Structure 1
Amino acid sequence: MVYASDVRCINSLRMDRHTFSILCSMLRTSGKLRDTRNVSVDEMVAMFLHILAHHEKNRIIQDRFLRSGETISRYFNVVLRAVLCLQGQLLKTPEPVPENSSDEKWKWFKNCLGALDGTYIRVHVPEADKPRYRSRKNEIATNVLGVCSQDMQFIYVLPGWEGSAADSRVLRDAISRRHGFRVPHGYYYLVDAGYPNGEGFLAPYRGQRYHLNDWRQGYQPTTPEEFFNMKHSSARNVIERCFGLLKMRWAILRSPSFFPVKTQCRIVIACCLLHNLIRREMAIDPLENQLNAIMDNEDDDDDDIINFIDSSEQWNDWRRELATQMFNEWRGNRNTR
């Protein structure tokens, strides 16, 4: 399953042999995993990754690994706790877009640290809790806040909020926690129209063309607001791609698991940490090649919901100046060609 070839390893565990070896080494060093008399660390980790990747039931894993159901359950939880110990090493440290950036997506957003959004991940909860976890899409789910960098690595993840909670409420909780989400002064993240345009969070203009599909018919922006929205959407799309790749990679995030809610939330964090490791260590990720076609066919209905924390007039003025500057520079470049 692991060491025969990279192709087989990726198909089974979603990572190549090199990345798998690095993960096992990190779990031995930082996660304090140890071989037991009957089960090696490599096998513990392989069982864990296989469950995340394919979301197979315990009895299927018993047949594949020739282990008892109790052994599989015990080591799944052991490895899960060890992976969570790697947060300090695997969560991405945010890096601002530099002044001299030449990246077509990001060069307009100097000092931007990345993008954030919420996503729903379906969960099993007791019957009495279902109304609180029912999302606007009528799914029983947890609303997960994800923050990612320009290269699609997670900076911060907060699962656990009920599906009925508004994205802005989840963000407000994240920034109020003692060791929660922090945005240094002078820096910011790109957010969608469901969040306020306030210090640290740059939102698009409402009532203007925004989603990438709006610009694929040859339509050109005619106002600073439209041009700003086009560039904002192109850059902020990184968080949508990040969530899309995460769910493609780990089948356990695509359907409810039968773990307690607290364990399900830990699984979400573990999947994000492993996603970061794969992004760093694997030069070629086969799943990324499948992502574009899937995302092109998905509709984004986030604009149907308006949730506000506190907007800032000063931030609105800065957005207006930035949009005008971006539009004038773009129009000037077109006229000189």
Structure 2
Amino acid sequence: MVHKRAVRHAAFPRVTYGPMLQRDHERIANLNNIYNCNNVEAIQMLRMRRAPFYALVKTFRERGLLTDSIHTSIEEQVAMFLHVVGHNQRFRVIHNTFRRSTEIISRYFQQELYAIWELRGEMIKPASMNTPTKIKNSYRWFPYFKDCIGAIDGTHVTAKVPRSMYVAFRGRKHYTSQNVLAAVDFDMRFTYVLSRWEGSTHDASILDDSLLRPDGLQIPDGKFYLRDVGYACQPGILPPFRKTRYHLNEFFYAKHRPLNARELFNLRHLSLRVTIERAFAALKNRFKALDQKPFHTFDTQVKLVLACCIVHNWILGWGEDELFEEVVSFDEVETGHGVEAGDNDA
């Protein structure tokens, strides 16, 4: 009696695989194109210039966070990771680009994610206690905000969760999301990040939880963060005046000057607090994995939020690039409309 497996195998012709030289040549040519491109092309592919990319690779190699294998260098491992988070590409798409199996890509992706997390202690640091240069050099903010060390806000990051968690993660955005709390300084660097919260959770509840955590947001005595009107005034948190014009369109698009001291305070409060909105916009503009439907497990999605903030801070350490210039500067808009021209009369 012929075994069923033998019959099934006999029904299909045997495939003879040839040498993989052509595939290897294509991969090497593609990698050389990435490594030897100019900065404009590097930003398009790797989401950063060549200098911070090679510095990141050097850091991983010197600290032993990543190692070269027989067939895959650290440069290729980092490039694959940046392609995934920068363009939100699935592993099977990266497979066609880098000519690696999806298993290898997945393995190196997790290793790269771990390596980036190891940098969180030095890249996500509390804000400086000194008066920020942006405030010190501006008559609009100094000395009124001289003790301000940054801004706090929440943002929604698209999430894919099991059906049993769907209701909790679907909030006012009408899609499942994480509600991420973050703090930034006025150089647009992230100084604190808290992810994993459900999209339906109110921002104030997340902030209260963060302040109670042993490793949560620390606000030194005498210093404060700026926050929008959705939060109550409390020690270390300064929101704008309620029931007073605050939003951008209420001043600029309506072409109304501040009419009293409260409106003037709200306008200057907004012109500083908008820094965190610009930081979120720059982060999601650079890393599409945070702005589009993800395909990773939820635990990986949570880790990716902090990992992208770490890489964001790393890139800022090497100066801004074209992706940051795409984010509209509030200061330029404000100056262009001339709202504060002569606003000291208010």
In structure 2, C-alpha distance between the alignment counterparts of 1:98 and 1:286, rounded to whole Å: 24
Partner of 1:68: 101
Which amino acid is 1:24 matched to?
Answer: V
Tell me how far 1:140 sits from its aligned partner: 0.4
Tell me how far 1:261 sits from its aligned partner: 1.1
Contact 2:132 2:186 in 1 (8 A): no
Identity percentage over the alignment? 38
Tell me how far 1:98 sits from its aligned partner: 5.5
Tell me how far 1:291 sits from its aligned partner: 1.4
Deviations 1:186-239 (A, max 9, x none): 100000011111110000011111012222143111211111100001100001
Structure 1, unaligned runs of 5 or more:
297-326
Work out which of the residue numbers 259, 262, 265 in structure 1 matches 2:299.
262
1:165 matched to 2:198? The reply is no
- Are the structure 2 counterparts of residues 97 and 66 from structure 1 closer, same or farther at C-alpha, using a change threshold of 3 Å? same
Tell me how far 1:61 sits from its aligned partner: 0.3
1:151 matched to 2:184? The reply is no
SS at match of 1:144: strand
Work out which of the residue numbers 142, 145, 149 in structure 1 matches 2:178.
142
Partner of 1:241: 278
Partner of 1:78: 111
Work out which of the residue numbers 155, 178, 183 in structure 1 matches 2:214.
178
Which amino acid is 1:144 matched to?
Answer: V
Larger Cα Rg: Structure 1 or Structure 2? 2
SS at match of 2:328: helix
Structure 1 stretch 23-32 or stretch 231-240: which is displaced more? 23-32
In structure 2, C-alpha distance between the alignment counterparts of 1:98 and 1:91, rounded to whole Å: 17
Tell me how far 1:258 sits from its aligned partner: 1.8
In structure 2, C-alpha distance between the alignment counterparts of 1:186 and 1:164, rounded to whole Å: 33
1:207 matched to 2:240? The reply is no
- Are the structure 2 counterparts of residues 94 and 105 from structure 1 closer, same or farther at C-alpha, using a change threshold of 3 Å? farther
Work out which of the residue numbers 264, 273, 290 in structure 2 matches 1:227.
264
Structure 2, unaligned runs of 5 or more:
1-33, 333-339
Query: RMSD over aligned Cα, in angstroms?
Result: 2.4
In structure 2, C-alpha distance between the alignment counterparts of 1:104 and 1:5, rounded to whole Å: 40
In structure 2, C-alpha distance between the alignment counterparts of 1:76 and 1:256, rounded to whole Å: 18
Partner of 1:103: 138
Q: Which runs of 4+ in 1 moved over 6 A?
A: none
Alignment length (residue pairs) = 302
In structure 2, C-alpha distance between the alignment counterparts of 1:65 and 1:239, rounded to whole Å: 35
Which amino acid is 1:161 matched to?
Answer: W
Contact 1:31 1:86 in 2 (8 A): no
SS at match of 1:218: coil
- Are the structure 2 counterparts of residues 267 and 98 from structure 1 closer, same or farther at C-alpha, using a change threshold of 3 Å? closer
Which amino acid is 1:233 matched to?
Answer: L
1:54 matched to 2:91? The reply is no
Tell me how far 1:293 sits from its aligned partner: 8.5
In structure 2, C-alpha distance between the alignment counterparts of 1:98 and 1:238, rounded to whole Å: 13
Contact 1:2 1:8 in 2 (8 A): no
- Counterpart mapping for 1:266-281 below 5 A: 266-281=303-318
Which amino acid is 2:175 matched to?
Answer: E
